[in-house]
Structure 1
Amino acid sequence: MKTLGIFRHAKSDWNDARLRDFDRPLNARGRKGAAVMGKHIREHAVGWKRVLASPAVRVTQTLELACEAARETPPITWDRRIYLANSATLMEVLRDQDGDPPSIILVGHNPGLEDLIFDLVPDDGSSPLRDIVEEKFPTAAYAVLELDIDDWANIEDNCGRLTHLVRPRDLDPALGPSPVD
């Protein structure tokens, strides 16, 4: 069995129209959400052996603030393929992992992360958490999947169970949807 964490970047700032999408930073709510989620991820205590992340500014800032709040700085592998990747590309990134770590947390963007959950977790009515993701996998959401595989190279559709899901608003109601969301 392998454990996969999925952590979506926190809320980004859209105020500077001159910035490329890749360069958008977090807004104030995003900075707070990243810190709240970083503390939760530490308290959830999975013990992530590898962090794979998009190098987009909003992801790097999310991880920086989350790690600061968690008082942990794990080694991070920045992989450009994760930036705006679809589910198939994210599975390829996971299949390419050397050393076969027992747990990996993937930090990136929607819709790819959400679609990855849908592809890995069967839509058979057995997962109320999957139903929540179908409503929305918001910014800074964190999910944990248990995968019925012995090697990351074997990751495939329907091999997982969604065992944990937390959204920022679950920890701090002020981080819930706003009229702009």
Structure 2
Amino acid sequence: MSVAEPRRIVLFRHAKADWPDVADHERPLAERGRKDAAVAGRRLADSGIPFDLALCSTATRTRETWKLAVQELPHRPKTVYEERLYEASPGELIAVLNETPDDVSSAVLIGHNPGVHGLADVLGGRAEGDAQQRMGRREFPTAAFAVLSFTGPWKSLEPGAATLVDFWSPSE
């Protein structure tokens, strides 16, 4: 892939988690979360983005979200479970994305708030249509995702380098 071709990043917040008496990292999805994860997967499939790579937090709720969502995709991308995505700041998330190989044209990152929402805000220097308003109105709920586009190598991804092209949440 040429670095001059647009790349896509989907920032996907895990679905609704349950609150059993377990450590935060081990919290599973609630019943609503399981349903929303599958719906989000169908919406990702409808987007037509051919994901080359999925970067997923190691937390139980993110792994369960991705397991349910990926079943809806026509092509299962390579999935990397990355400990650094758990409780990561936008800067830490950018550092992980900067390590993405340049033969990857589209990636999905399955993570947590406030990092995922913060990353969408910080990367999206521009927005298409009403995507920014929809994202701002919804406060990036569980199972929501933002689609961003940028041109250049992954190592050049930095604040303001991308365009927010879409935002979706289960309540839409």
TM-score normalized by structure 2?
Answer: 0.90
Instruction: Flag the structure with higher strand content.
Output: 2
2:164 alignment counterpart: 162
Q: CA RMSD in A?
A: 1.7
Aligned amino acid, residue 9 of structure 1:
H
Further displaced range: 105-114 or 67-76: 67-76
Which stretches in structure 2 are left out of the alignment for 5+ residues?
1-5
2:16 alignment counterpart: 11
- What is the deviation of 1:37? 0.7
1:173 alignment counterpart: none
2:58 alignment counterpart: 55
Deviations 1:65-105 (A, max 9, x none): 11223364332101100011110000000111124411111
Change (3 A) 1:96 1:104: same
Check conservation: 1:145, 1:162, Cα contact below 8 A: yes
Change (3 A) 1:125 1:54: closer
SS of residue paired to 1:168: coil
Correspondence 1:79 to 2:82: yes
Find the aligned partners of 1:125 and 1:80 in 2 and give their Cα distance: 30
Which stretches in structure 1 are left out of the alignment for 5+ residues?
171-181
Change (3 A) 1:71 1:152: closer
TM-score normalized by structure 1?
Answer: 0.85
- What is the deviation of 1:128? 3.1
Share of identical aligned residues, percent? 33
Change (3 A) 1:22 1:100: same
2:3 alignment counterpart: none
